[in-house]
Structure 1
Amino acid sequence: MIEGDWPPMVTSRALDLLPSELLARFGHRMDTSLNGDFLEIPVAAEAELLVALRERGFTVTRDDELINTLDGQTFR
């Protein structure tokens, strides 16, 4: 985390949490001037990514409210 970048961007956490083969298959590493690298995953790839994660034993659900909280949206 870059100093002053709180909370860390949810999309930057994906770089640490997703298996490397899924990063390469579904995402594109992007970078910002101030907040460092993050993972961009096209919305069109969501369903296929969820299937791939479940096949690897991950339990995944969509929770927009939680993501907005983790991304700092509720602190504004």
Structure 2
Amino acid sequence: MVAAYSLVTKFGAKQKDVAAVLGCSQATVANWVKEVGFQQQITGLQRELDDANEYIEELQHMLPPPEDDYIDGDYFQEENY
């Protein structure tokens, strides 16, 4: 998959030519290119989230503690009947 992605995106090979060399269909190569592209986006986003979390941890000591009605990432609201 990664080889197909690199051949198409980095070296400008046509998907049909890559498919012929790898012994698969052009549609398969197209799906691989798409999937590897998505994986790169996800990896990039994960790095951004990791960086943001490190920064947040540095700032956390400057914030007041959560309020009493804050439970696991959300605020608890009692329903009034």
Instruction: Provide TM-score, normalisation by structure 2.
Output: 0.29
Higher relative contact order (CA 8 A, sep 6+): 1
Q: Bigger radius of gyration, 1 or 2?
A: 2
Question: Which has the larger share of strand?
Answer: 1
